[in-house]
């Protein structure tokens, strides 16, 4: 069983080794720039850890993990555009549109989504690509609510904007491991708690969302409760879930 840090290294190596559609030509550097920006790789690591804990092979799950990171990166590139959040920096570097121009960043985002689906379609089971696309559409629905201020229901907004891709990270890991659908249910229940934890932690760090609604202390309690439930879900699984427990801890500790 590989530790989370080893899985992260595997993700980084895999992303660096990716070849893109040759027709993209000189657009490719814009994809690589955004992809190799030192993110935490939480989604792909979660996917790999779930796949291995569920009895699957890490190597076999790498394309699914890569697809998740590409979808996440696509959403960041488009989110940063002036027409959206207008963020000029991303992780301490110029955003893609600042580095390459708006038109190129737009197309790079489009291409990242296309390449993500292409990776998900390398599996015989079309269910992987289906789940990824459904999650992507949910995420887009969340982004729409975010930019239009259609955010009466913050829980729904964040559930869509970040929760759906989190849930898909667990789902794709299970599918890549070949776990029958009937056996996936308790694993997915774990993923839902982890996704909730991630969102609440994010809100605490940004002092918005749930943290703005119920206050920092209230949000800390929500995060702690979600972490507790996630650990309980893991304990109920007849599998070595030590790495997944490590992921829960590393999320929770950020607001410890």
CA R_g for the chain: 18
Cα–Cα distance measured from residue 226 to residue 228, given in angstroms and rounded to the nearest whole number: 5
182 binds its own copies (CB under 8 A): no
225 contributes a contact to its own copies by CB under 8 A: no
Residues 55, 120, 81: CA angle, nearest 5 degrees: 125
The gap from C-alpha 247 to its chain's centroid, in whole angstroms, comes to 13
CB of 49 to its own copies, least distance (A): 26
CB of 128 to its own copies, least distance (A): 10
> Of the candidates 32, 141, 178, 245, which one interacts with its own copies according to CB under 8 A?
141
Total residues at interface with its own copies (CB under 8 A):
49
DSSP 102-117: HHHHHHHHHHHHHHHH
Here's the x/- map for its own copies, 67-86, by CB under 8 A: it reads as -------x---x--x-xx--
Return the residue matching tokens 């550097």: 29
CB 67 within 8 A of CB 74: no
158 contacts 199 by C-beta, under 8 angstroms: yes
**175 scored as a contact of its own copies (CB under 8 A):** no
Encoded one letter per residue, x for contact with its own copies by CB under 8 A and - for no contact, window 103-132 reads: xxxxx-xxx-xxx-xx--x--x-x--xx--
What distance lies between CA 239 and its chain's CA centroid? 23
Nearer to its own copies, 161 or 220 (CB): 161
Give the number of other Cβ atoms within 10 Å of residue 3's Cβ: 12
Contact set for its own copies, span 145-174 (CB under 8 A): 145, 147-148, 150, 160, 164
- For its own copies, the binding residues (CB under 8 A) are 20-21, 23-27, 74, 78, 81, 83-84, 97, 101-107, 109-111, 113-115, 117-118, 121, 124, 126, 129-130, 133-134, 136-138, 140-145, 147-148, 150, 160, 164
């Amino acid at each position: 069983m590989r530790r989370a840090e080893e899985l992260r290294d595997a993700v980084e190596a895999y992303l660096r080794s990716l070849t893109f559609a040759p027709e993209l030509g000189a657009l490719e550097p814009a994809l690589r720039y955004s992809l190799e920006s030192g993110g935490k790789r939480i989604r792909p690591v979660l996917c790999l850890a779930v796949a291995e804990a569920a009895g699957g092979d890490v190597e076999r799950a790498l394309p699914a993990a890569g697809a998740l990171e590409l979808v996440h990166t696509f959403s960041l590139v488009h989110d940063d555009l002036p027409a959206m959040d207008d963020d000029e920096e991303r992780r301490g570097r110029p955003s893609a549109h600042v580095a390459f121009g708006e038109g190129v960043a737009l197309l790079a985002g489009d291409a990242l989504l296309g390449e993500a689906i292409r990776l998900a379609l390398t599996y015989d089971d079309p269910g992987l690509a289906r789940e990824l696309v459904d999650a992507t559409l949910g995420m887009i629905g969340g982004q729409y609510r975010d930019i239009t201020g259609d955010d009466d229901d913050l829980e729904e907004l964040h559930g869509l904007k970040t929760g759906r891709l989190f849930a898909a990270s667990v789902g794709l890991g299970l599918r890549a491991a070949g776990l029958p659908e009937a056996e996936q249910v308790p694993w997915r229940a774990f993923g839902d708690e982890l996704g909730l934890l991630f969102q609440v932690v994010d809100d605490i760090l940004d002092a918005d969302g749930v943290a703005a609604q119920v206050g920092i202390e209230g949000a800390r309690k929500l995060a702690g409760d979600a972490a507790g439930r996630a650990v309980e879900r893991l304990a109920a699984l007849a599998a070595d879930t030590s790495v997944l427990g490590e992921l829960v801890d590393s999320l929770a500790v950020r607001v410890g």
